Amino acid sequence: MEEIDSVLDEQLRFLRGEVTYLKQEQQEVNSLQVYQANGRIKRAVERSLQVSVEICLDIGRRIIARNGYKYPDSNRQVFEILAREGIVSAALLPALRKMAGFRNIVVHEYVRIDDVQVYGMLKSNVGDFEAFATEIAAFVDADEAEEDA
């Protein structure tokens, strides 16, 4: 169990690093036009958002497997199971579903990536990654406390 928790801790640290980067870009990219004009920033932000979603999915799958929950059939189901089991809040679930959909577009339908959507996620959804990390960390802490009791 300790090895799994160290992996989760490492994934959470990595996610927080991505959030730090995205927050920096939030401050520096002050308009859609600035975002669209800079191919390097566009690629970096898209990739960082994709990696952030992937980390959330990996964390979710690890928790699902560790706890013996029914394995998800889709990325959206990962988040739905976490919400159903009370690991993440129901309030966060719509944002997590949106993340899963965004990930599918970036990975599979990359020619359809919409700059407006990516810019909107940069400006409005970075906090959702933070909320996910906070809720997962609280779950892990509670789980460890329960084991120690």
CA distance 146 to 140: 10
Average pLDDT of 9-16?
A: 96
In sequence order, what E strands does 2-147 have?
none
Tell me which of 3.90.650.10, 1.10.1520.10, 1.20.120.580, 3.40.50.2300 is the CATH number of domain 2-148.
1.20.120.580
Percent pLDDT > 90 in the chain is 81
Q: Determine the pLDDT at residue 147.
A: 67
Percent of the chain with pLDDT over 70: 94
Q: Which residue has the higher pLDDT, 104 or 88?
A: 88
Identify the pLDDT of residue 5: 77
Mean pLDDT of the 12-33 span: 96
Report domain extents, the chain: 2-148
| Amino acid found at 131 | A
Average pLDDT, the chain: 92
pLDDT exceeds cutoff 90 at 141: no
How confident is the model over 31-65, as pLDDT tens digits?
999 999 999 999 999 999 999 999 999 999 999 99
**pTM of the prediction?**
0.92
Stretch 116-143: mean pLDDT, rounded? 94
pLDDT at 1: 44
Distances (CA, A) of 50 to 6, 22, 86, 139, 140: 23, 11, 25, 24, 24
Mean pLDDT value across residues 7-29: 96
Long-range contacts of residues 79-88, Cβ cutoff 8 Å, at least 24 apart: 87/63, 87/135, 87/136, 87/139, 88/132, 88/135, 88/136, 88/139
Instruction: Kindly state the average pLDDT of the residues 92-101.
Output: 95
Site of tokens 């998800």: 72
Can you give the pLDDT at residue 148? 64
